[in-house]
Amino acid sequence: MDFSNFTPGAASIGGLLIGASGLILFALLGRQAGVSSVAGGLLRFDLRDLDWRLAFIGGIVVGPLVVAFVRGSELPFEITFNPWMLVAAGLLVGFGTRLGNGCTSGHGICGVSRFSVRSIVAVVTFVGVGVLVATLARLGGLS
Amino acid sequence: MRAAVAALAGLIFGIGLTIAEMTNPAKVLAFLDVFSGQWDPSLIFVMGAGIALYGAGFLILKRRTAPVMGDRFHLPTAQGIDTPLIAGAVLFGAGWGLVGLCPGPAFAALSLGGAPVLIFMAANLAGMYAFELVGPRMTRGQTAA
């Protein structure tokens, strides 16, 4: 086993920031920082509800630019460029997170923190399927 | 004001994802690909730290009846394990395991991932919109978080 890419320190700091972000959104606006639910709600085009959703998503988009600026270096990014696989994955993630009412942030952090049984079951399911598909994709030469 | 708070929260979220390198699909796949011989458990620490802080804060906030700037706390009302929950998690897990992107990191990676992330995001939003069209018939009693 090679753990040379394991970065527990940076991962924990990042996780704390994500938790802090969720607390700010919940304490002040009463909303859960579940990205799929915040983004999915945008697509209902309800004008009374667009401002904070767009602002939250906008903040997420800008975050990496701030880190890149402060560090003064390019951020690591590596992906397999297979257009059809990207389309299939995007459709699955978009439809699946809305059908299951949450993703890694909404179920994974907000839901598990509240000891929500639905969220715990969702996390075990999507991590389990994710492990299976990532393993099969590597064995099948897709990634 | 509401938008300013949300923008700040989003910014901190995006910075957290970036520092944890969850914006890099290869790092996420290195977690999901448990049997590769180069397993990277970092994602567990992201989730663990996030859950610990959010969980502690939530316990304190639960004593309040309303948020500082709103009339009520919006929490999911659905109870029990049902087919939409499991089916949705299965579909999401499959897409996540294919390329290593989920909604938060996909938005954060828009500025660093070029065409692949733009293609993924377009499909992601199309999938979310498809749910708006057919979803109400597939779920009962679920409300958005």
- What does the pLDDT look like over B23-51, one tens digit per residue? 999 999 999 999 999 999 999 999 999 99
- Residue A1's SS3 state is coil
Per-residue confidence band for A1, with pLDDT thresholds at 50, 70 and 90: low
CB < 8 Å to B27, chain A: 5, 76
Contact A18, A105 (CB under 8 A): yes
Distance from CA of B65 to the nearest CA of A (A): 10
- What does the pLDDT look like over B86-130, one tens digit per residue? 999 999 999 999 999 999 999 999 999 999 999 999 999 999 999
Q: Do B55 and A101 touch (CB under 8 A)?
A: no
Interface of A with B in 4-33 (CB under 8 A): 4-8, 10-33
Per-residue confidence band for B142, with pLDDT thresholds at 50, 70 and 90: low
A91 lies in some domain: yes
Indicate if the pLDDT at residue A27 is higher than 80. Answer: yes
Residue of B nearest to A32 (CA): B145
Compare A60 and A142 and report the one with higher pLDDT. Answer: A60
A3 lies in some domain: no
CB < 8 Å to B97, chain A: 129-135, 137
Range(s) of the domain holding residue A76: 8-139
ipTM for this prediction:
0.96
Indicate if the pLDDT at residue A51 is higher than 70. Answer: yes
Q: Do A75 and B18 touch (CB under 8 A)?
A: yes
Indicate if the pLDDT at residue B144 is higher than 50. Answer: no
A48 lies in some domain: yes
Per-residue confidence band for B141, with pLDDT thresholds at 50, 70 and 90: low
- Which of A60-64, B131-135, B138-142: highest mean pLDDT? A60-64
- What does the pLDDT look like over A91-138, one tens digit per residue? 999 999 999 999 999 999 999 999 999 999 999 999 999 999 999 999
Distance (Å, whole) CA A33 – CA A41: 12
Q: CB distance from A112 to chain B under 8 Å? A: yes
Burial B96-107 (b: 16+ CB within 10 A, else e): bbbbbbbbbbbb
Q: Do A93 and B102 touch (CB under 8 A)?
A: yes
Q: Indicate the number of domains in chain A.
A: 1
How much is the pLDDT for B136? 77
Distance from CA of B141 to the nearest CA of A (A): 11
